[in-house]
Amino acid sequence: MPNSQNRNNRRKREEHSETLIIPHITKEMLEKARAMAAQGASRAEIEQAIAQMQGVATANPEPESQPKPEPDARRIIPTSRKRHTDEERKAMLEQMRQERAQREEERREEASRRTQRPAWHFPAPRAAREEPPAATPAEPAETRPDATIRIPAVKPAPQPQPQEQPARVAGPAQPAPEPKAAAQPVKSTEPAAPVAPAAPKEQPQPAPKRHAGLLRSRAEAEAELNEKIRSDHIWLSNPVMVCGLGLAPVVGAALDGERALILCVASLLLITFTRVLAVAVCHLSGNRFRPIIYSYAAALLYIPVYILLYEFFGNSLTALGIYLPILVVEPAIVKRMEFAELEPLRDALRHGFNNGIGMCVALLIVGCLREFLASGTVFGHEVIHMALLPLAAQPAGGFVLVGVIAAVWCAVANAYTDYKREEVHRLYAGRKH
């Protein structure tokens, strides 16, 4: 049975239109052939017209371009930017080095300006340049053969920094002087013609004075303020009211003014001399064994301090009970061993004395106030005839009273320190450093 699909295919090939095979056809030739076929031209006419167009194209052949060498596959040629020659690359590198050097110079100038900024805010007034006085006409004087005439130096053309020219010496015809005499003009005691005064030397400008309010940068001013606050052991950094040290003798033993006074003397002697003795021994030991040194120093000094207190106060020391010997291990005394740096003996004496004074102030305030509230007396002298708060004579009342005083004390101290910090911020508000 014949294949119907093959028969259909042959029928389609017979009905298909003829196809022209034209070598080297162009777009113009194709458009020309389509236009002639639409007008009903025959195949011979279309081939003749295309042959004429090919003849014209071959009559004026384009010059053959030289074959281009094949590019190296391993070489990467950038096509997104312009290629430069070696001279252009060298010029660009030199320009980059100059720009880098200029930026480095600007950075150094900015750093020098930041370090010298306080002096720039208040520069010294520029002194007006003094003009040399005009030379007065000299009166005719009688010339002598042994007199020396000084001729004013000839000033050169004006320059930004004029330099003084040495004066020339001229005189009558004389034999050649010695070489030493030629270096310096001969001074004559006889009157000579007046000499025009030389231009005065410019005096160096004095260094600009710094303003008292802006001696340093903002960070340095804040650091100095913090150091002042930390070193003020009487008011802003009181060891009892602010730091909370020494509360046991303040609450348990400072019941009246007399006991508070005994504790003040004992604390002042122990705190000051324990710190000095411990720092001196730490200097010898290379700042090692600090806890042991501070504890033994306080224990050794307690014996002479107790003897001295007994000579002054007698049997009144027994009223303090255990709170007097417990001062040996008082945190206000041994707290210094927490700091790793070793201070000089002079600073140790000053800091120890300031800590002792701060503790004495707290003891006297609490002791006198408790005596006044509990019995209406101060150091045994009657002030009022009634007891305002009898609980103040007990340890519980002492805790309450010390807490109230410490709260008020810290509130006032914090308000003052905040005010000083705001003042520093206002002074250095417009400065970056």
218-245 pLDDT tens trace: 788 888 888 888 888 888 999 999 988 8
- Segment 324-368, tens digit of pLDDT: 888 888 777 777 666 777 889 999 899 889 999 999 999 999 999
pLDDT (0 to 100) of residue 328: 86
The pLDDT score that the predictor gives to residue 430 is 65
Please report which helix (H) or strand (E) contains residue 47, including its range.
helix 43-59
CA distance 352 to 343: 12
Average the pLDDT over 47-64 and give the result: 69
Tokens 């600009």 belong to 208
Whether 397 has a pLDDT exceeding 60, the answer reads: yes
Whole-number percent of the chain with pLDDT over 90: 28
Chain centre to alpha carbon of residue 64: 74
The tokens for 200 are 């005065």
Average pLDDT of span 377-382:
91
Q: Average pLDDT over the chain, rounded to whole?
A: 75
pLDDT value for 171? 45
52: left (phi over 0), alpha (psi -120 to 50) or beta: alpha
Nearest to 10 by CA among 21, 20, 19, 2: 2
pLDDT band per the 50, 70, 90 thresholds, residue 288: confident
Q: How far is CA 160 from the centre of its chain?
A: 37
Q: What is the pLDDT of residue 141?
A: 45
Residue 152 is predicted with a pLDDT of 52
The owner of tokens 């300031």 is 354
Q: Which amino acid is at 190?
A: E
Q: Report residue 378 as tokens.
A: 């101060």
Cβ–Cβ under 8 Å, residues 370 and 397: yes
Rounded average pLDDT over 113-127 = 53
Give the residue among 254, 213, 209 at the shortest CA–CA distance from 372: 254
Higher pLDDT, 401 or 212: 401
Written as six digits, the tokens of 195 are: 């000499």
Q: Are 401 and 252 in contact (CB under 8 A)?
A: no
> Residue 328: CB partners within 8 Å, gap ≥ 6?
270, 295, 298, 299, 302
The b/e string for 328-343 (b: 16+ C-beta within 10 A; e otherwise) is bebebbbbbbeeeeeb
Whether pTM > 0.75 for this model: the answer is no
Could you tell me which of 102, 86, 23, 115 has the C-alpha nearest to residue 432? 115
Closest CA to 244 of 160, 330, 143: 330
Per residue in 131-176, pLDDT (tens digit) is: 555 555 444 444 444 444 555 555 555 555 544 444 444 444 444 4
pLDDT digits (tens, 9 = 90+) for 77-88: 555 566 778 898
Least confident interval from 163-172, 310-319, 324-333, 379-388: 163-172
Q: How confident is the model at residue 267 (pLDDT cuts 50, 70, 90)?
A: very high
At residue 299, does pLDDT exceed 50? yes
What Å distances lie between residue 423 and 221, 412, 419, CA to CA?
11, 17, 6
Query: What is the pLDDT averaged over residues 244-260?
Result: 90
What per-residue confidence (pLDDT) applies to 103? 92
Asked if 363 and 258 count as a contact pair (C-beta separation under 8 A), the reply is no
pLDDT interval class at 204 (50, 70, 90): low
| Residue of higher predicted confidence among 194 and 216 | 216
Which pLDDT belongs to residue 364? 94
CA-to-CA dists, residue 92 to 76, 88, 99, 268, angstroms: 22, 6, 11, 76
Q: Which two tokens stand for residue 269?
A: 């002697």
Region 404-412: mean pLDDT is: 94
- Return d(Cα 231, Cα 239) in angstroms, integer: 11
Comparing 165-169, 273-277, 318-322, the range with the smallest average pLDDT is 165-169
Helix/strand number for the chain, H first, E second: 13, 4
Residue 291 pLDDT grade (very low, low, confident, very high; cuts 50, 70, 90): confident
